[in-house]
A = this chain, B = another copy of it.
């Protein structure tokens, strides 16, 4: 059955790979599953047809036969549970890898989202400059704990897993901030993720969409 995901017709990040379809593309590349992409304009994302697929009007979604899923974490977990390559065979190790997925999305990403809001949505507010260091320190608190746990290991718990895929994806949002450089083992961890051939293919695929959308019309 064909897998179809949705992505931005014009990604707000201009092809830096931070839109969440990259996480799903990466997972599909890791497990070797081909997929098709349906591109959506910002207007189409808010229309009933898409809201039926994604109640919060976002991308990506995932369709395969009768199954329609939303939420990146759920899609990546679904892919990881159906195909070999993203979760260990041992049941306990599998549960721990899934714990790292949730840690990425519910413990590490929220302060990073708050920082993004502070930078993007509140940059013109009178409190912006004074407040930013507070928000950055909330991110640093989590990075310090994560760096402490990772220590000198390559991946968070044994071999590369869907937990690492999600954690690296979340940390990539900090790349332009320079904050990762304060934690050299985390910076190296993210670089290891980016160096994986599956990530490279996912990144190239989302960049190609962006390049095409900025090409002048014939």
A-to-B contact residues, CB < 8 Å = 51, 55-58, 66-75, 77-78, 92, 95-96, 98-103, 105-107, 109-110, 113-114, 117, 121-122, 125-127, 130-131, 134, 138, 142, 145-146, 148-149
Contact = CB atoms under 8 A, between A and B. Distances in A.
Nearest to A146: B55
Contacts of A75: 99
Contact of A67 (B57, B95, B122): B95
Contacts of A148: 51, 55
Contact of A110 (B66, B95, B100, B109): B109
A66 B51 CA distance: 43
A196 to B, nearest CB: 23
Nearest to A65: B92
Contacts of A92: 66-67
Contacts of A68: 96
A27 B131 CA distance: 38
A107 B105 CA distance: 9
A74 B93 CA distance: 12
A54 to B, nearest CB: 9
A143 to B, nearest CB: 11
**Most chain B CB inside 10 Å of its own CB: which residue of A56, A57, A58, A146:** A56
Contact of A74 (B66, B95, B109, B134): B95
A56 B145 contact: yes
